[in-house]
């Protein structure tokens, strides 16, 4: 513990020495820009920054990269709220109530509430992370394949109750996502599946490509074909008097923010399950515990603060496997690991011993950037207002251009561009027939994690299914899932009894 505190103090001194804090400001600003623009995301920004950081001092590079990572998470909520297009995969659930709120003229309040929740989520997540650092490796060891399998099952199960539309359509959409996740190479079996001789499919469908197609391109097609009025996309943004109410709303709902922060931390720990899951699970949790669940999806402010608190705390959760064992929790943290390697540092257990001060620098960069980006997000309200006044037809070109370049820039693969448009068409069909696009993304993200955890668990137990109930974590997750399924019925049964009394 003493060593942890010494490393923490060393990292803090470094951040405030010379002009080092400027790296955090720069990283947070870039993060906000890349988060706001649909198609640009933390992995793309980090990929662009890594070559620039090779010649920098390692700690300076970590400050810039950590700040860039922390900066994108909240800012993606701005586009989710204003245009109904998630700025990043972290903000998919924020769209569900953020966009309806913007349509009601409450965009300023929603953005401020989201920013405040993000700050709380960041502070909470990183505070817990700092407390956990001495025992991080034990936490990671506690989550083996059966535990990870149940967490993914919980996520997939929540798809059905997350659906605003019918449960059948929610499950069907999630099922399509699961099917899409089976394309390509499976590390658990070593086999190539459903590739049809097409090399592109060996790596499966990229989450970024599918998200941009289903949300960005699909919304544009929907507007071009006139299913929605163009006027609907341009939101009149009242500025006066709403900032304080957004802040106060979040402060009043502090317990929800903390509960969703815990959800984000736990989900962030699972490798590969961060983006899109932390926010959705928190959203569903908030909806289930609400006295007014039917208002969700129609502009309930809780539906904005729950995912935003969760996705910011998730960044801290993703640091747990990263720091304890060098296991990246997300694509963005995998790229940051690359920066460690490029600077001659092999990620792994040394990140908690020899390189602990550097690890602290990374954690603090994400922390300060998370706060700064929220401040930038609120300070930038006049700019966001101006953006909403841009004629929708210009925004179409912008969204198409940025989505296209965003997916092309990730892998330099022209086929990704074709695929993003194909998913755009699928997304339009899903909008038209009220299918759940979030559920599809969740299925796609969780499918490989669920499948490989399932197979690994059986490989460990030599086919004995009892392995899925081997620990108290497994049992707690199953109880939670059953509780979620039957709670409405139990609540309904209890209510008449109470009323009779």
Q: What does the binding site for another protein look like in residue numbers (CB under 8 A)?
A: 47, 50-51, 54, 137, 140-141, 144-145, 185-192, 199-200, 202-203, 220, 224, 271, 321, 325-327, 334-335, 337-339, 341-342, 344, 346, 348-350, 353, 391, 393, 396-397, 400-401, 404, 408, 411-415, 417-418, 421, 452, 455-456, 459-460, 462
Judged by beta carbon, residue 104 or residue 189, the one nearer another protein is 189
Report the distance separating Cα 231 and Cα 228, nearest Å: 8
| CB neighbour burial string for 371-404, b if at least 16 within 10 angstroms, e if fewer | bbbbebbbebbeebbebbeeebeebbebbbebbb
> In the 8-state DSSP scheme, what is residue 277?
H
Report the distance separating Cα 27 and Cα 23, nearest Å: 6
Judged by beta carbon, residue 190 or residue 241, the one nearer another protein is 190
Place of tokens 């994400």: 366
For residue 69, CA distances in Å to 65, 206, 230, 263, 353 come to 6, 19, 33, 20, 23
Using a 10 angstrom Cβ sphere, with 0-12 exposed, 13-18 middle and 19 or more buried, the burial of residue 414 is: exposed
Q: What's the min distance (Å) between Cβ of 149 and another protein?
A: 13
List residues bridging with 184 in a β-sheet.
193
Beta-carbon contacts of 328 under 8 Å, excluding residues fewer than 6 positions away, are 271, 318, 321, 322, 334, 336, 337
Nearest CA to 27 out of 335, 369, 406 is that of 369
Helix 2-16, helix 356-379: angle, nearest 10 = 50
Q: What's the min distance (Å) between Cβ of 40 and another protein?
A: 16
Judged by beta carbon, residue 314 or residue 456, the one nearer another protein is 456
Judged by beta carbon, residue 130 or residue 455, the one nearer another protein is 455
> In the 8-state DSSP scheme, what is residue 326?
S
User: How many CA atoms does the CB half-sphere of 499 hold within 13 Å?
Assistant: 6
Judged by beta carbon, residue 35 or residue 144, the one nearer another protein is 144
Helix (H) or strand (E) holding 185: strand 184-185
Judged by beta carbon, residue 302 or residue 457, the one nearer another protein is 457
Q: What's the min distance (Å) between Cβ of 23 and another protein?
A: 20
Q: What's the min distance (Å) between Cβ of 128 and another protein?
A: 20
> In the 8-state DSSP scheme, what is residue 327?
-
Judged by beta carbon, residue 129 or residue 407, the one nearer another protein is 407
Q: What's the min distance (Å) between Cβ of 459 and another protein?
A: 4
Q: What's the min distance (Å) between Cβ of 456 and another protein?
A: 6
Q: What's the min distance (Å) between Cβ of 478 and another protein?
A: 19
Q: What's the min distance (Å) between Cβ of 191 and another protein?
A: 7
Q: What's the min distance (Å) between Cβ of 423 and another protein?
A: 14
Beta-carbon contacts of 150 under 8 Å, excluding residues fewer than 6 positions away, are 468, 473, 474, 477, 478, 481
Longest dimension (CA), the chain: 74
Judged by beta carbon, residue 189 or residue 434, the one nearer another protein is 189
Map residue 92 onto helix, strand or coil. Answer: helix
Judged by beta carbon, residue 145 or residue 370, the one nearer another protein is 145
On whether the CB atoms of residues 149 and 450 are closer than 8 A, the answer is yes
Judged by beta carbon, residue 111 or residue 218, the one nearer another protein is 218
Tokens of 115: 């920013």
List residues bridging with 192 in a β-sheet.
185
Tokens of 396: 């179409």
Q: What's the min distance (Å) between Cβ of 187 and another protein?
A: 4
Map residue 143 onto helix, strand or coil. Answer: coil
For residue 339, CA distances in Å to 31, 53, 330 come to 17, 8, 15
Judged by beta carbon, residue 234 or residue 334, the one nearer another protein is 334
Q: What's the min distance (Å) between Cβ of 84 and another protein?
A: 18
Judged by beta carbon, residue 392 or residue 431, the one nearer another protein is 392
Q: What's the min distance (Å) between Cβ of 212 and another protein?
A: 14
Judged by beta carbon, residue 289 or residue 413, the one nearer another protein is 413
Q: What's the min distance (Å) between Cβ of 409 and another protein?
A: 12
For residue 99, CA distances in Å to 158, 289, 298, 310, 427 come to 22, 22, 9, 18, 17
Report the distance separating Cα 187 and Cα 106, nearest Å: 46
């Amino acid at each position: 513990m003493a060593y942890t505190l010494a490393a923490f103090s060393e990292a803090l001194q470094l951040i405030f020495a010379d002009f080092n804090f400027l790296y955090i400001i720069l990283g947070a600003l870039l993060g906000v820009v890349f988060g706001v623009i649909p198609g640009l995301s933390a992995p793309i920004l980090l990929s662009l920054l890594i070559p620039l950081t090779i010649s920098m001092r390692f700690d300076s590079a970590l400050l810039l990269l950590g700040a860039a990572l922390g900066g994108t998470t909240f800012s993606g909520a701005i586009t989710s709220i204003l245009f109904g297009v998630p700025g990043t995969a972290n903000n998919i659930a924020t769209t569900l109530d953020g966009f309806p709120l913007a349509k009601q003229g409450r965009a300023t309040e929603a953005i401020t509430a989201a920013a405040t929740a993000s700050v709380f989520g960041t502070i909470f997540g990183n505070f817990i992370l700092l407390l956990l650092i001495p025992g991080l490796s034990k936490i990671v060891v506690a989550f083996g394949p059966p535990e990870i399998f149940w967490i993914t099952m919980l996520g997939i199960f929540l798809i059905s109750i997350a659906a605003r539309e019918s449960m059948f359509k929610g499950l069907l959409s999630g099922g399509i996502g699961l099917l899409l996740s089976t394309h390509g190479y499976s590390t658990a079996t070593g086999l190539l599946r459903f590739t049809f001789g097409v090399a592109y499919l060996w790596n499966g469908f990229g989450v970024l490509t599918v998200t941009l197609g289903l949300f960005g391109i699909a919304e544009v097609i929907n507007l071009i074909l006139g299913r929605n009025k163009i006027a609907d996309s341009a939101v009149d943004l009242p500025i006066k008097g709403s900032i304080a109410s957004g802040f106060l709303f979040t402060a009043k709902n502090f317990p929800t923010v903390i509960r969703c922060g815990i959800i984000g931390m736990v989900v962030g720990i699972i490798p590969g399950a961060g983006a899109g899951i932390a926010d959705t699970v928190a959203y569903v949790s908030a909806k289930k515990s609400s006295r007014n669940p039917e208002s969700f999806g129609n502009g309930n402010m809780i539906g904005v603060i729950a995912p935003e608190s969760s996705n910011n705390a998730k960044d801290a959760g993703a640091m747990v496997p990263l720091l304890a064992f060098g296991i990246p929790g997300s694509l963005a943290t995998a790229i940051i690991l690359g920066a460690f390697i490029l600077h001659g540092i092999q990620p792994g257990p040394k990140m908690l011993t020899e390189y602990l001060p550097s690890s602290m620098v990374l954690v603090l960069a994400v922390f300060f950037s998370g706060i700064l980006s929220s401040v930038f997000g609120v300070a930038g309200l006049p700019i966001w207002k101006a953006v909403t006044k841009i004629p929708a037809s210009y925004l179409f070109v912008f969204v198409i251009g940025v989505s296209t370049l965003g997916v092309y820039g990730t892998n330099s693969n022209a086929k990704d561009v074709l695929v993003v448009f194909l998913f755009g068409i699928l997304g339009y069909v899903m909008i038209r027939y009220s299918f759940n696009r979030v559920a599809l993304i969740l299925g796609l993200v969780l499918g490989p994690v669920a499948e490989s955890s399932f197979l690994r668990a059986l490989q460990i137990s030599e086919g004995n299914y009892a392995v899925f109930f081997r620990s108290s974590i497994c049992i707690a997750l199953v109880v939670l899932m059953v509780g979620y399924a039957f709670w409405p019925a139990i609540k309904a049964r209890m209510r008449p009894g109470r009323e009779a009394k």
